[in-house]
Amino acid sequence: MHPSLEAFALAAGLLALGAALVHRYGFPPLPVYLLTGLLVGERLPVEDLEPLPSLGLLLLLFSVGLEFGPDRLRELSGKAIRAGFFDALALPLGFLLGLFAGLDPKGALFLAAVIYVSSSAVIVKLIVDLRRAANPESEVVLGVLVLEDLFIALLLALLGGQGPTGFLGGVALALAYLLFARFLGPRLVRFMEGLSDELVLLLGAAFTTGTALLFHAVGASEGVGAFLSGVIAAGLGLRERLEHLFGPVRDLGVALFFLVVGAEALGLLQGLTPLAAGLVLLGLLLKLPLNHLGGARAGLGRKRRLYSALYLVPRGEFNLVLGALALQRGYPLVAQVAVLLVLVSVPLGALLIRFAPELARLLYQEAPRKRPRPGGPPASP
């Protein structure tokens, strides 16, 4: 029996056990996947799991791109854009924080991106599971997430490639893809309508991974290539079909990817410094007032703007991508902050989102009125 099959069986069993435990209480399984990697990383040969974790990452970015189609841009309201402006102030503030922490400008930009971007996957799932999609703050939060994904895709193009040459190569390749989708996309869609789901799944996987490899070959970020594949597919009207087909494969690969990240983070977090822990705390606190103010500018009421700020606490997929990239570029401090921020913010954010109404009632409850004494004058209001 091949060793990779034994590693896969053990990993899948542990991940299934962890997911079953958290699903019972309605929480997302992402932090459990990471914690599983932290607990068994030294005993599990994670290198034998490849290429499934790498494929899971590409499919995750492809799925994020599917949610970022041109139709979603047109649906962005002015309220979401105003809230997104205040949310984006975390980027310059995070950059300054990185400089104060002793990082060079590129490392500070990595740190700013890690602090800025929230987890679309975790937040959207919680909003849907808690049946709050129709709430006014959810429209604002979902619009802010779309803007965050756009900014981070651009930053990945800048930070993930091989300098200016890689960035220009990625831009040229992206333009070529967009032109292809503009002029030949309708014919491609009509052709795919008559294909079986199995064939569409295989073609979609080949398109996503092939695009990622092509971007890597020109010196750009392969993650941007996978993200662009999703954007193009969404623009061609293939979102629903591809989400249905890729969902189970993506979820398996993503679970293994987070397991591997947790296993590799074990050694990283063993050297955790007070500076990294302090940056995580500041990263959690930095966005709360910005998002609260953004909710106010979006016209949300007092309670709803609190909800919108709490909804954007969880960090996830892009933070881990940025952390892994920062580690490759020689910024272990940023990688520590990225991993620890995810480990802390996902369970904390899930709790805050779940109990946001109770927190609002606790914070904004009116002082109880004094009851008048029998026969006495009425109490003052």
Give the CATH number, domain containing residue 267: 1.20.1530.20
Q: Identify the CA nearest to 7 among candidates 57, 54, 56, 41.
A: 41
Question: Does residue 68 lie in a domain region?
Answer: yes
Question: Does residue 40 lie in a domain region?
Answer: no
- CA dihedral (291, 296, 298, 301) positive or negative: positive
Instruction: Quote the tokens at residue 36.
Output: 């599983």
The C-alpha atoms of residue 93 and residue 334 are separated, in whole angstroms, by: 15
Q: Under a CB-based contact definition with an 8 Å cutoff, are residues 235 and 214 in contact?
A: no
Question: Does residue 369 lie in a domain region?
Answer: no
Averaged pLDDT score across all residues of the chain: 81
Higher pLDDT: 91 or 131? It is 91
pLDDT given for residue 165 in this prediction: 66
pLDDT given for residue 377 in this prediction: 52
> Confidence band (pLDDT; 50, 70, 90) for 70?
low
Q: Under a CB-based contact definition with an 8 Å cutoff, are residues 119 and 149 in contact?
A: no
Poorest-pLDDT segment among 88-97, 195-204, 264-273: 264-273
- The alpha-helical segments, DSSP class H, found in 162-273 are 163-193, 197-217, 222-235, 239-270
Q: What is the largest CA-CA distance in the chain?
A: 89
Instruction: Quote the tokens at residue 286.
Output: 């930095």
Q: Would you say residue 366 has pLDDT above 50? A: no
Residue 251 burial class via C-beta count within 10 angstroms: exposed 0-12, middle 13-18, buried 19 and up: middle
Q: Give the C-alpha distances (Å, rounded to integers) separating 16 from 5, 23, 119, 301, 326.
A: 16, 10, 22, 41, 30
Q: Identify the CA nearest to 255 among candidates 24, 3, 12.
A: 12
Q: Would you say residue 172 has pLDDT above 90? A: no
pLDDT given for residue 73 in this prediction: 65
> Confidence band (pLDDT; 50, 70, 90) for 287?
very high
The C-alpha atoms of residue 326 and residue 328 are separated, in whole angstroms, by: 5
Q: Map 113-141 to HEC letters.
A: HHHHCCCHHHHHHHHHHCCCCCCHHHHHH
pTM: 0.76
> Confidence band (pLDDT; 50, 70, 90) for 90?
very high
Residue 27 sits at φ, ψ, to 5 deg, of: -110, 155
> Confidence band (pLDDT; 50, 70, 90) for 95?
very high
pLDDT per residue as tens digits for the range 240-250 = 888 888 888 88
Q: Would you say residue 175 has pLDDT above 80? A: yes
- CA dihedral (302, 303, 306, 307) positive or negative: negative
Domain range for 195: 51-361
pLDDT given for residue 116 in this prediction: 93
C-alpha distance across the termini of the chain, in Å: 79
Question: Does residue 344 lie in a domain region?
Answer: yes
Tally of domains within the chain: 1
pLDDT per residue as tens digits for the range 122-168 = 787 778 777 787 788 888 888 888 888 878 877 877 776 656 666 77
Instruction: Quote the tokens at residue 200.
Output: 């569409």
Question: Does residue 61 lie in a domain region?
Answer: yes
